[in-house]
Every structure is written in structure tokens, then in C-alpha cells.
Amino acid sequence: MIRRLSAVLVATAALVGGCSLDPAYRRPAAPIPSSWPQGAPYAAPTPGAVAGPVDWRGLVADAKLAALIDTALADNRDLRAAVANAQIARAQFEAQRSLLFPTLDATASANYVRTPLPGGGHQNVRTISAGLAVSAYELDLFGRQRSLSRAAFEQYLATDEGRRAVQLSLIAETATSYLTLAADRSFVTLALSTRRSAEESLALTQRRFTAGVASQLDVRQAETVVEQARADAARYAIAAAQAKNALDLVVGRTVDEAQTPAGLEEVASSFRPIPVGVRSDVLLARPDVLQAEHQLRAANADIGAARAAFFPSITLTGAAGGASPALSSLFRGANASWSFTPSVVLPIFAGGRNRANLRGARAAKDFAVAQYEGAVQAAFRDVADALAGRGGLAEQRTAQEALVVAAADALRLSTARYERGADTYLNTLDAQRVLYAAQQGAVAVRLNDLANVVTLYRALGGRTE
């Protein structure tokens, strides 16, 4: 009897699935153009490139940076929290899904009663019972539990995409912190080099002042360049230390100095080119966009559950087993017992609660649609901005490097004229400042050029595993 009851309940759970009241799901049309922006300053699509996310291992050519990214993926605390959050969501889904099946509980009890007899004496009665019991199992005739299970599953998938989004951000942040540290150290090197050059110029000017050829004003003007470079060296040293601290945080442990770059020159070839196809539908595979879509699917399933609340619910409670005064005869046929209690609840009046829940579920779906469309538009902007940088930074870098060459030549010529007494020191001072600013600009442009590769990788939803 126990086996038959178990089989009946399992078959009921499997076969009485009921209908679904979920609205038919349709992915909203992407509110973006079908292709990337064209023309200056945007980079042209790579000929023959197929749209798709880029694998970070194929992108990163710097062995030290690749090792740091691996460490970050293993040790970063934010990523650990995201993984744990995904595991929580999966457990919640599994708990919700379990309600689709009946819960069988094994029961056992013993009862000892002693009662007095009318003629004197006592009667001892012992009853031992054991069996299986099902408590308030809901037949999912109208799909409410299935809708709730689908909603929980989609929320789990959304959380898992959130984990992947954290991984993607972590890879990009590690690379950006690495580049920022390299740039700050290049700024320190440039400031120290400028200071040494300015000190040589100051020494020359002081000798000319002693000889009566230069003025006190020339000396003071030469000192301004020295002190400016000294102040910049201290400022960039602080920035470099803070960049190292940021790298330690994102990696999840203290990074050894041997794993860090000495300057931008060392990381100039850290990345391989990223091919970019013409079509923009690659964005639909970005983790944040997929996360928004799963949340939309969950909201769609919640509408089905809210609709099902208007219909009757049927619950079953039953038990089967045996009762006997002796344990040895407990499961004999004559001692078998069973009970079966179906219950039907028909909603009649709930103060408008069910209608309010349905309106709320529909509004939540509208909110999820807006969130999804916003995620797609934000993703398109990310890529468009990165492509604009990709197209314009190459020309900007070429121009900045030419500016450094021209400024260096202007300083050489103005210094020669000043030493011959053909020009004032003011022109030499201006040339020094222009060259220093041009060299700083060149470092900044090189950093932006390298960081743009990381930005494009992240914007396209690069692969993380």
C-alpha cells in the first residue's frame, strides 16, 4: 500500500502539470541601430571580422598582466561575493522547484495507555504505528507553482550573468589598474628627467649671472622649471603608490614588484588588436544585457503566477502505513491503515489583493522591459565611445609625438640663441615648458590608447572563462 501511494503521488506530480498562464514571451526589439556609427572619428569595422565577444587570453599579450588577471579571478573578494550570490540564487530556485513535487515523510510513533477496569485491576494498551505521509501537496492545475519555479530559475540565471559581468569588469579593472600604474611611473620618470635637465639649465644660468651676462630674473625663471618638475615628481610618486594600492585591491593580494611594470614603454605591446564586425547585435550577448533579459523573463513568469491566483487551488493530504500492538505484526495486511484528505480553495473575496498583485506583476514587467532596453542602449554607447576613441587616438598619438619632436627642437634652438646672447631667457623658458607639457601629453595619450583596447573588450562583452 505504501509503495502504491508513493507511485500515485509521484505520477500525479509528473502528469498533472496543468496549464501555463504566463504571457507569451517576446524579446523586445533592440532600440539601437543595426550597425556601429561610421565616419570620423569612428574606427572602421575590421574587414571580414565576425561579430562576437573577445577572449581575454587571446587579447592580453603581456605575461605579467595575464598572471595578475588569473590571480584576480581567483582571489578578488567582490568576485567571490558574486559567485556566492549566484549559488544562493540557485539554491532558492531549487527550493522553489521542489514544491512541484509531493513531500513524503516517514512517520513512526508508539502509544502506551493504562486504564483501570471496572472490576478492579488495569488494562495496558500499546499501539505502534508507522507509515508515509504527504502534507498539503498542491496540484498545480493552473501552473502557479510552475510559473514561480520559472521565475526563480530566471532570477538564478540573471544572478549568474551578474557574476559573469563582475568577472568581465574585474578583468578590465585589473588591466586598467596595471596600465595606470605604468603611466604614473612614466610620469615620475619624466618629471625626474625634466628636473635634471632644468637643474643643468639653472646651473648654466647661474654661471652666466655670476659672469654678469644673465640677470637675476633669468635665474629665478630657471628655478621655476626645476621646482615645478620637483613638485610634479612628488605628486606622481603619490599617484603611483596609490595606483599600486588599487592594483593590490583588485587582484586580491599584495602584488610583488617584479610583477609590476616600470613604465608605459614596457607595456606598449600588451594587447593584440580587437577585430570588430559591422553588426551591433553582438551586444545582446553582453552579461549585463543577458542579466536584464533574464529579469524580464522572471517578471513575465510572475504575471502567470499572479493570474493563477484567481483560480481554485487543490491540495492533497494523505497517509498510509500500519498500526499494531506488536512491532512484529506492524506491516501485516490486516493492520494496514490509510487516510486521504483532498481540499479545494476557491478565491471569492480578498479585498482586491489578487488584482493588485496582478497589476503589480504587469508593472514589474514594464519596468523590466525599460531596464532591458536601457541596458542595450548603454551597451551600444559603450562600444560607440570606444570605437570613437579607437579611430581618433591613433591620429592624436601621432600628432602628440610630432609635437614632442618639434618642442625638443625648439628648445635646442632657443637655448643656443640664449647662450649666444641673441635671445632672452624667456623664450628658452617657454620652450622648456612646452616640451615638458608635450611629453606629459604624450604619456597621457599612450595611456588612453592602451586603455581604449581594454574599454572596447569590456564594451563588446568579452569572454571571461
User: Can you read off the three cell numbers belonging to residue 267?
Assistant: 607595456
> So what's the pLDDT on residue 129?
78
What average pLDDT score do residues 181-210 get? 94
CATH superfamily of 19-101+142-311+354-459: Outer membrane efflux proteins (OEP) (1.20.1600.10)
pLDDT digits (tens, 9 = 90+) for 129-182: 777 888 888 888 888 999 999 999 999 999 999 999 999 999 999 999 999 999
Q: Specify the range with the lowest mean pLDDT, choosing from 12-21, 31-40, 170-179.
A: 12-21
Report which of residues 171 and 47 the model is more confident about: 171
What average pLDDT score do residues 59-68 get? 95
How far apart CA 450 and CA 390 sit, in angstroms, is 10
Report which of residues 89 and 422 the model is more confident about: 89
Mean pLDDT of all residues belonging to the chain: 88
Amino acid at 453: V
Per-domain boundaries in the chain: 19-101+142-311+354-459
How far apart CA 394 and CA 386 sit, in angstroms, is 13
> So what's the pLDDT on residue 179?
97
Report which of residues 266 and 351 the model is more confident about: 266
How far apart CA 449 and CA 182 sit, in angstroms, is 13
pLDDT classification of 109: cutoffs 50, 70, 90? confident
What average pLDDT score do residues 191-216 get? 91
113, 271, 115: which is closest to 182 by C-alpha? 271
> So what's the pLDDT on residue 2?
45
- DSSP assignments along 215-256, one per residue: -HHHHHHHHHHHHHHHHHHHHHHHHHHHHHHHHHHHHTSPPP
- DSSP assignments along 293-352, one per residue: HHHHHHHHHHHHHHHHTTS-EEEEEEEEEEEESSGGGTTSGGGEEEEEEEEEE-----TT
> So what's the pLDDT on residue 335?
65
Side-by-side strand order, sheet with 336-345: 104-116, 122-139, 313-324, 336-345
Q: What's this model's pTM, rounded to 2 decimal places?
A: 0.85
